[in-house]
Amino acid sequence: MKIAQLSPYMYPHLGGVESHVLELSKSLKKRGHEPVIITTRLEGTKKKEMVEGVPVIRVEPIAILLSTPIVPNVQKVLMDMDCDIIHAHSPPPLLDFFGVRAANKKDVPYVLTYHCDLEIPHTFGPLIVQLYQRTLGTYTVSKTDKIITTTHTYGATSRAVWYRDSEVIPNAVDAERFHPSNEPGDIRERLGIGEDEKMVLYVGRVVYHKGLEHLVKSAIYLDESVKYVIGGTGDFRPELEEIRDQNDLDDRVIFPGRIPNAELPMYYAAADVFVLPSVSRLEAFGIVALEAMASATPVVVSDIPGVREVITEGEHGLLSEPLNPENLAGKIRTILRNPQLAKQMGENGRKRVEEFLTWDIVAEQIEAVYEDMLDRSG
């Protein structure tokens, strides 16, 4: 099959959707298909190139407003392209709108993976989102042949897609790259974390909806031997540093900045527990939690729709109350004070990944959706 994957952004821009689209495309190529990623051209990128063996076509945007690329020429690119399936990924929106228009005109099956709801951090954000959902958003969903959501709870609670039958196919992880056999190297030494100290890890974008202020504040309720490592970049870091300084946590909360991709498995191996404290519907799954589980590192994740389905409470990790630093601290404490429990959760998490959440398994499920769409279209 020739498959056009529409992704609003792509590497070097980093994010969960970008990672999902690239890994899916690599897996589909391994299965004998011909995926092409169509995305927004950002400053300093080429119009056409190969990214990890996958062809990428970058289309010039006419503007990028509120982190949303406006790229109407995507429709023309698709109209001129020979493809059997068009598979879009949202959010940000609009690329999926231009994609569905092209698919309908070409009479090509159109699949939409709805990764999460829209949230715009702006005074008029809720109004803009509502206006979009009632117009272009509704049009896109109504004209889509098949919608994929990553969890049951998220799809059932999303106003954008809950009135449509959707296929639930989870996110996945590279279980060979993230593996219990990985060694931490000198990560703890570089971070200044001693042998007798514990390491609590977060990696990802350092942005407001990740709930990181509550993670930093949770350190107040834990022993001084517990060190927090918040890896990644983003515009929320100054506020987090201010919270750290105000609570005399200077030597306990560490910001190493952007973690090199090659070192990421080492960070999971070095950590005693991984925490995903997200508080927003912009977090619908949490791929970083899968990476930790694949590494056999126990996890604490927020008890919010979507994210809560990644684990079974008490088996692969623990659920924490969102917006509650003291409760979060209690969940971290439970894991750190019970080495046998932590070890069992790590092993269970790894087993769950191997059984349900590798890219070979997930790509096969998505491939089955494509084949069903082609069979229906004749």
The model's pLDDT over 156-182, given as tens digits with 9 standing for 90+, comes to: 878 778 778 889 999 999 999 999 999
d(CA 72, CA 292): 38
| Mean pLDDT, residues 35-40 | 98
Q: Is 116 exposed, middle or buried (0-12, 13-18, 19+ CB in 10 A)?
A: buried
Residue 348 in domain: yes
Q: Is the pTM of this model over 0.75?
A: yes
Kindly give, in sequence order, each residue whose CB lies less than 8 Å from that of residue 353, ignoring residues fewer than 6 positions away. 173, 175, 290, 293, 294
Residue 135 in domain: yes
Task: For residue 97, give both structure tokens.
Answer: 């709108």
Residues 78 and 226 in one domain: no
**How many domains does the chain fold into?**
2
d(CA 251, CA 228): 9
d(CA 367, CA 378): 17
Residues 149 and 243 in one domain: no
Residues 142 and 210 in one domain: no
Q: What rounded mean pLDDT belongs to the chain?
A: 93
Residue 130 in domain: yes
- Domain range for 259 is 187-356
CATH number for 46? 3.40.50.2000
Residues 291 and 268 sit within 8 Å (Cβ to Cβ): yes
Residues 368 and 339 in one domain: no
- Percent of the chain at pLDDT > 90 equals 79
Beta strands in 128-180 (DSSP E): 146-149, 166-168
Residues 167 and 54 in one domain: yes
Task: For residue 120, give both structure tokens.
Answer: 């715009």
d(CA 7, CA 254): 33
Residues 233 and 370 in one domain: no
**Banded pLDDT at 16 (limits 50, 70, 90):** confident
| CA 328 to each of CA 18, 82, 113, 166, 341: distance values in angstroms, whole numbers, following the listed order | 29, 51, 31, 33, 17
Residues 67 and 196 in one domain: no
Residues 363 and 268 in one domain: no
Q: Is 90 exceeded by the pLDDT of residue 69?
A: yes
Question: What is the tens place of the pLDDT at every residue in 315-364?
Answer: 999 999 999 999 999 999 999 999 999 999 999 999 999 999 999 999 99
d(CA 41, CA 318): 40
Residues 81 and 54 sit within 8 Å (Cβ to Cβ): no
